[in-house]
Structure 1
Amino acid sequence: MGVEMSDEHWVYVVDDDQAMRESLQWLIESDGMRVRTFDSADAFLKACRPDWSGCLLLDVRMPGMSGLELQAYLGRRSIGLPVIIITGHGDVAMAVRAMKAGALDFIEKPFNDDALLGSIRRALENDDRARALRSARVDIQSRIKELTPREREVMDMVTDGQSNRDIATALKVSAKTVEVHRSRVMDKMHAGSLAELVRMVMTVQTT
């Protein structure tokens, strides 16, 4: 079964073996996904844009920058394409290094077509979730910037579990004043409940 792709989704294949690139392109396109291939890490980096979405299939051993080196390079620059490592020369040390660096999967050649396609689908789903989370964080952070310093203070104390009475005592204001600030916070944050407000704060605090 093919996977439904957005207009932005691509599978990027980086492998110096032309026959392997062509084989992977045929396989992935036959499952309804779009592919761009590159014969080296350098060629990929020259074309890569920070806003690319999809996933990246990397061969480990290539002339010049290796697949693992490219993976590390992208990580340092916060380019968050999910990575699947493909190699015919894998060993346990390579697998551990790739996974610790954030690779979603490590597949040795020759690979099972269905297993590889399944891994790609999971990578694309992960990319969608990560992008949705980043978008939500930006939206929530923009709402937080609209709060006054006192409203931000009240929000932090409310989402920390403190009662209106405790907040009033700590801020040396009346409970009624705290309630007014709290109501404004809920309105500005577009939060329908305290639980929703807490989830928003947790979203921007999550690394």
Structure 2
Amino acid sequence: MNQEPSMGYSPASLTPVRPVVFAASKDSAWLSRVGQAANAEGYRFQTSPSITSLVNQAATTEEIACIFLDYDPRMQQWSSIEQLLFEKNVAAPVVLVLDETSGMSASEAVARIAHVVAFNSMETHEIVDSVRDAVALSNLVTHQFDVLRCHRLYQTLPERQRKIVDFVVEGAPNKQIATKLKVSVKTIERERQKAYRHLNVRSTAEMTRVVILGGLHDVIFPVARSRNSLVDRRIDQRSLEPTKSSNLSPTTSMMPSMNPSSVPTNTYGSI
């Protein structure tokens, strides 16, 4: 049975807005099959030959079902695509499309951006399964982006503001914080307001949420490791055993590692 796509509503007309399946590929036959799969699930379909332009389109789209991106062996830094998705606030499941010869060369791309792996030899009904697998991960992908956003905001706080925020989250009043840091209460109030603005929050409860999610970063995000297979993952290396995968099925679901310290900031060209 087909899943009913979640519908947003246009403020002007209150009519349902169908989510969009995006696909970046230069293979017209593949795009045709993806389009058929999207239509079969009740989604709109948009394409682009360039990953960069497609991400820019997705950034202005209210409802995204998922994004199909072709694996390109000429692309050396998939971290730049990971960074672009984050900077454009495109929190959508990514289906990375491989061909049968990609093999281990695609491991970095899979680790960086793939939530679901598919193959360009798949038929339309198999692509429908990929769409469903990706959409099923939407809430988790949104949560991961939220965790990463909070982590980066928290880590970029000035040292004194971070100390104040930590004390506030622990429940310490301004007077007690001022005593511990040997500054005036006025200074604590001023720095606390600066921290609120930096974290884009309006209350202590919202600030606490940012700090807690920011601190969960290393637990939430998986770590990609190469062994004798394309992907080998563990969600929390402190408590879970690694999951081995000797072969990728036509549709393989996975969550990518998004490590803020390893993502460079650079200029993106069309791919």
TM-score normalised by the chain length of structure 1: 0.60
Selected match of 2:116 from 87, 93, 105: 105
| Maintained 8 Å contact 2:22/2:67 | yes
| Maintained 8 Å contact 1:99/1:106 | yes
| Maintained 8 Å contact 2:116/2:130 | no
Q: Tell me by how many angstroms 1:160 deviates.
A: 4.9
Q: Tell me by how many angstroms 1:49 deviates.
A: 1.8
| Maintained 8 Å contact 1:82/1:126 | no
Percent identity (aligned): 19
Q: Tell me by how many angstroms 1:130 deviates.
A: 5.5
Selected match of 1:30 from 36, 40, 65: 40
Q: Tell me by how many angstroms 1:32 deviates.
A: 1.2
Partner residue in 2 for 1:198: 208
Letter aligned with residue 81 of structure 2: L
Structure 1: gaps spanning 5 or more residues:
61-65, 145-149
Partner residue in 2 for 1:147: none
Q: CA, structure 1 residues 130+67, in 2 after alignment: closer, same or farther (shift >3 Å)?
A: farther
1:157 and 2:167 equivalent?
yes
RMSD (CA atoms): 4.4
Partner residue in 1 for 2:263: none
Q: Give the 3-state SS of the residue equivalent to 1:101 in structure 2.
A: helix
Q: Give the 3-state SS of the residue equivalent to 1:69 in structure 2.
A: coil
| Maintained 8 Å contact 1:88/1:110 | no
Q: Give the 3-state SS of the residue equivalent to 1:21 in structure 2.
A: helix
Task: Output the CA distance in 2 between the equivalents of 1:203 and 1:34.
Answer: 33
Q: Tell me by how many angstroms 1:31 deviates.
A: 0.4
Selected match of 1:120 from 134, 141, 154: 134
Task: Output the CA distance in 2 between the equivalents of 1:90 and 1:99.
Answer: 14
Count of residue pairs brought into register by the alignment? 180
Letter aligned with residue 2 of structure 1: E
Partner residue in 2 for 1:17: 27
Task: Output the CA distance in 2 between the equivalents of 1:67 and 1:123.
Answer: 26
TM-score normalised by the chain length of structure 2: 0.48
Letter aligned with residue 23 of structure 2: V
Q: CA, structure 1 residues 17+168, in 2 after alignment: closer, same or farther (shift >3 Å)?
A: closer
Q: CA, structure 1 residues 170+127, in 2 after alignment: closer, same or farther (shift >3 Å)?
A: closer
Structure 2: gaps spanning 5 or more residues:
9-16, 194-200, 218-259, 261-271
Q: Give the 3-state SS of the residue equivalent to 2:56 in structure 1.
A: coil
Q: Give the 3-state SS of the residue equivalent to 1:37 in structure 2.
A: strand
Q: Give the 3-state SS of the residue equivalent to 2:67 in structure 1.
A: strand
- The within-5 A match list for 1:53-92 is 53=61, 54=64, 55-60=66-71, 66=72, 69=75, 72=78, 73-77=80-84, 78-79=87-88, 80=90, 81-92=92-103
Letter aligned with residue 40 of structure 2: S
Q: Give the 3-state SS of the residue equivalent to 2:118 in structure 1.
A: strand
Greater relative contact order (CA < 8 Å, ≥ 6 in sequence): 2
| Maintained 8 Å contact 2:18/2:43 | no
Deviations 1:173-196 (A, max 9, x none): 89xx69x96xx98xx94346xxx6
Task: Output the CA distance in 1 between the equivalents of 2:161 and 2:98.
Answer: 54
Selected match of 1:45 from 38, 43, 52: 52
Task: Output the CA distance in 2 between the equivalents of 1:152 and 1:88.
Answer: 47
Task: Output the CA distance in 1 between the equivalents of 2:43 and 2:74.
Answer: 24
Partner residue in 1 for 2:177: 167
Structure having the larger proportion of residues in helix: 1
Task: Output the CA distance in 1 between the equivalents of 2:104 and 2:204.
Answer: 47
| Maintained 8 Å contact 1:95/1:106 | no
